[in-house]
Structure 1
Amino acid sequence: MTDLFGSVPTAPDTGPRPLADRLRPQKLSEVIGQRQVLGPEAPLTVMLSSGALSSLVFWGPPGVGKTTIARLLAHETDLHFVQISAIFTGVPDLKKVFEAARIRRQNGQGTLLFVDEIHRFNKAQQDGFLPHMEDGTILLVGATTENPSFELNAAVLSRAQVLVLERLDLKDLELLAQRAEQELDKALPLDGPAREALLEMADGDGRALLNLIEQVTAWTVEGTLDKDALATRLMRRAAQYDKSGDAHYNLISALHKSVRGSDPDASLYWFARMLEGGEDPRYLARRITRMAVEDIGLADPQAQSICLQSWETYERLGSPEGELALAQALVYLALAPKSNATYNAYKGARRSAKQTGSHPPPKHILNAPTALMKDQGYGKDYAYDHDAEDGFSGANYFPDGMERPDLYQPVERGFERELKKRLDYFARLRAKRNS
């Protein structure tokens, strides 16, 4: 438990300590990974060397060292370390923390307040930090797994620097495994492929890796285990995926861009990642259909129909069989010719409509059901296209006085190549009629 008025109390060391606690770094140079914030010219190194540590927000996945780095920053700067969690801390608790920090400051001791899961505080609670940050009562270090741009108040963000902590790569995890073996004075009973599989099971989470290592080293094993034997004894941890958080938006972005980039393999990979994370296939069906409309359009008019058919097939078959229909649509989209010409034309039309929203249609294309409207010129000189040469009158259908915009610009790919020929043909006829 964390003392609200100070750091974590020291308990008598009478029982076994978790491996993750025993391997906790004692100085910043011992932290594994995070070179982008702890390297020679990285932000934290520069702040510490200049003696100007500011309030911070650590943004990153679990198990990458957010708490450890905050604790070591307090040690490096001789600040009193206080740790709270937004999940378990209410407004009365915060008031006690701030009051204790104020008293501590009067006695010449600064406070580094580490707030885990800071995004769980509501707007009013986040606003409560501001006066204490501004007058120097606390130096705030927040930790969040969610995008601070969406979850934290602009006022808090303006007073703190956001540092992104990244999931540990396999080299970092291997170094951590070696440290664990030294601490335990025991080698992991795994052959090469099994050892690599264990590192991959951690999925970039150092704390998860140490927990796995504790399990493996507790086994009674003769010789070494191979990959299959390891998989039998250990369950692979679930991939990190929040259907309403950053992972959701990051993965759908990766899926969409893989389709746009005409890469069916990458498209299927991100599609599978989302399904494995528990994403609703109906959401994916909707987004896949949207890709057909936005990125393929009339370059392949059949793409949209295939997406709708795959969606309907999923609804009839359900999971998991129906997901194959969505996968087929995804592969079709990835390999289809791409065009966003209609998408761009639509956005351009919306802009023009906003700028000229009060202009009436030209009178020659308005119906005149009454004599008064005929007297006003409604329908006068209307050119009936079916009576015109080539079935095209070349009349103006935009408001009088409005310069004709060039909105739809088809590409030289797929079916839009044919549409471009038609558009150019009508443009030549229009120029001929108008001349």
Structure 2
Amino acid sequence: MTDLFEASGILPPDAPLADRLRPRTLDEVVGQDHLLGPGGPIRRMIEAGRLGSMILWGPPGTGKTTIARLLAQAAGYEYQAISAVFSGVADLKKAFEAARMRRAAGQSTLLFVDEIHRFNRAQQDGFLPFVESGVVTLVGATTENPSFELNGALLSRSQVYVLKRLDDAALDQLLSRAEAHMDKALPLSPEARQAMLALADGDGRYLLTMSEVLFDLPEGEMLDVQGLAGVLQRRAPAYDKSREEHYNLISALHKSVRGSDPDAALYWLARMLNGGEDPLYLARRIVRMAVEDIGEADPLSILVANAAKDTYDFLGSPEGELALAQAVVHLATAPKSVGVYEAFKAAKKAAYETGSLMPPAHIRNAPTKLMKSLGYGKGYQYDPDTPEGFSGANFFPDEMERRTFYKPKGEGHEEKVKARLDRWAEMRARMAVDGAVDAAGD
């Protein structure tokens, strides 16, 4: 019903506050200046007067739907919206046919597809001919990583723009707009107002939904942090006088683990849980610690971190929080290594610099006679069958010098890994010398 009123530019008086405060121009959208501000890619598109298909990827409540609607308005396109949650093939066919008729009449169509990742692969393929022919300009919205959830063909025809979680400044701007619209201030102490921003967790719609509850309170009532928690029936973050914020606390937890201090790590974990932090957010960060700061020094850490996440998923709070605490202690007391982290960064840089070099012929598959005649697979040695279980063959492209990316420091499990790598390096060098001598003799 709200969509019908919105299409006419009029909203019912009982419409949610978030709908009543929807931006009417792109300049009113908060928190996405990297896309919409001067020099931003979407801003440049508008200024050029031509829209391209795009995927808007970001958390809930960051303005994906609003941006799509305002883009159509700014470019003079007809705005048509469907949701992958409620739409099927028949709805898509109707949308494409309507867009085709508009195009014949000289009218462009912006087709907004909410939750586009929920369409299956075949349905996503159905968009391609209409996007390629210009029947529709597709704007898809998703909260999931497009690389994993959307077809490569669809991604290759669209720009992916990442929307940021709304920071405190953007959220506070929304609250100020709400106060101006309602013509009264929220009944919150400065600490409670800050706590409310933390509770929103970057979601502007949720922030405005919470504020509606507060605007309905009796006049003259002023809430502190605990009062806010009571009204909203949620645990409010425990902000002390220094107003340490969400990112300061998670940084303290992460660095305590990295610094091998289990006691400090447990303290910061407890602070965040007591403050109302989403335990699954903490679980994700703990998994990140395992791969980023510990890696091959203790390969068990990633299993412990994932098991803690699964345990919390299964038990919930408060019992599942103990699994997170156990993981934090394990990671804090584990040996540390950034060997894999640094190696992968270096490998990605080299891959970017070297472009599309082919693998050496001896490790290419040769399923056809033509490939065999071209030398594919010739001379390949199956390492487990060699006398020492190591062939010393080259696996880099022929045009690329051998590079060493992974340099274990010798901590924990990596001590044995380093010894093996050093032994293989010596064998590889010896084999290279022997091969050179044989070649000279021939």
- Whether these two folds match at TM > 0.5 is yes
Q: Which residue matches 2:117?
A: 119
* Cα distance between partner residues in 2 of 1:35 and 1:284: 27
1:19 is aligned, of 17, 23, 47, to: 17
The Cα of 1:191 is off from its aligned counterpart by: 1.0
The Cα of 1:276 is off from its aligned counterpart by: 4.4
The residue type paired with residue 356 of structure 1 is Q
The Cα of 1:142 is off from its aligned counterpart by: 0.5
* Cα distance between partner residues in 1 of 2:383 and 2:153: 40
Aligned-pair identity (%)? 46
Q: Which residue matches 2:332?
A: 331
The Cα of 1:137 is off from its aligned counterpart by: 1.1
Change (3 A) 1:360 1:134: closer
Matches within 5 A, 1:222-261: 222-236=220-234
Contact 1:7 1:82 in 2 (8 A): no
2:86 is the counterpart of 1:85: no
Report SS of the residue matched to 2:67. Answer: helix
* Cα distance between partner residues in 2 of 1:59 and 1:43: 15
Contact 1:115 1:142 in 2 (8 A): yes
Matches within 5 A, 1:1-400: 9-10=7-8, 15-236=13-234, 276-277=278-279, 294-297=295-298, 319=320, 321=322, 324-333=325-334, 336-338=335-337, 340=339, 356-357=381-382, 360-362=385-387, 397=388
Residue by residue over 1:340-380, the C-alpha shift from the partner in whole angstroms, topping out at 9 and shown as x without a partner, is 59xx9xxxxxx9x9863168444xxxxxxxxxxxxxxxxxx
* Cα distance between partner residues in 1 of 2:177 and 2:135: 38
Change (3 A) 1:37 1:12: closer
The Cα of 1:338 is off from its aligned counterpart by: 3.3
* Cα distance between partner residues in 1 of 2:171 and 2:420: 60
* Cα distance between partner residues in 2 of 1:359 and 1:55: 50
Contact 1:57 1:142 in 2 (8 A): yes
* Cα distance between partner residues in 1 of 2:231 and 2:126: 48
* Cα distance between partner residues in 1 of 2:136 and 2:5: 14
The Cα of 1:15 is off from its aligned counterpart by: 4.1
Change (3 A) 1:267 1:402: farther
Contact 1:79 1:110 in 2 (8 A): yes
Q: Which runs of 5+ in 2 are unaligned?
A: 238-252, 344-359, 364-379, 395-401, 427-442
The residue type paired with residue 201 of structure 1 is L
Contact 2:383 2:389 in 1 (8 A): no
Change (3 A) 1:41 1:330: same
Contact 1:33 1:172 in 2 (8 A): yes
Residue by residue over 1:52-110, the C-alpha shift from the partner in whole angstroms, topping out at 9 and shown as x without a partner, is 21011100011111111111111111111111100111101111111111111111211
Contact 1:267 1:331 in 2 (8 A): no
Report SS of the residue matched to 1:141. Answer: strand
* Cα distance between partner residues in 2 of 1:284 and 1:96: 44
The Cα of 1:327 is off from its aligned counterpart by: 3.0
The residue type paired with residue 99 of structure 1 is E
Contact 2:297 2:411 in 1 (8 A): no
Q: Which runs of 5+ in 1 are unaligned?
A: 240-254, 345-350, 363-396, 429-435
Contact 2:286 2:327 in 1 (8 A): yes
Matches within 5 A, 1:400-411: 411=409
Change (3 A) 1:296 1:105: same
What is the root-mean-square deviation in Å for CA atoms of aligned residues? 5.0
Residue by residue over 1:115-149, the C-alpha shift from the partner in whole angstroms, topping out at 9 and shown as x without a partner, is 00000011111111111111211111110000111
Q: Which residue matches 1:380?
A: none
Moved more, 45-54 or 117-126: 45-54
The Cα of 1:418 is off from its aligned counterpart by: 11
The Cα of 1:218 is off from its aligned counterpart by: 0.2
* Cα distance between partner residues in 2 of 1:295 and 1:46: 45
Change (3 A) 1:98 1:331: same
Residue by residue over 1:153-192, the C-alpha shift from the partner in whole angstroms, topping out at 9 and shown as x without a partner, is 1111111111111110000011111111000001111111
TM-score, scaled to structure 1? 0.66
Report SS of the residue matched to 2:332. Answer: helix
* Cα distance between partner residues in 1 of 2:92 and 2:416: 67
The residue type paired with residue 72 of structure 1 is L
The Cα of 1:263 is off from its aligned counterpart by: 7.7
* Cα distance between partner residues in 1 of 2:162 and 2:421: 49
Contact 1:189 1:224 in 2 (8 A): yes
Contact 1:194 1:225 in 2 (8 A): yes
Change (3 A) 1:319 1:177: closer
* Cα distance between partner residues in 2 of 1:401 and 1:422: 13
* Cα distance between partner residues in 1 of 2:190 and 2:24: 30
Residue by residue over 1:18-46, the C-alpha shift from the partner in whole angstroms, topping out at 9 and shown as x without a partner, is 21111111111111110110010000111
Contact 1:118 1:142 in 2 (8 A): yes
Change (3 A) 1:80 1:222: same
Change (3 A) 1:263 1:155: farther
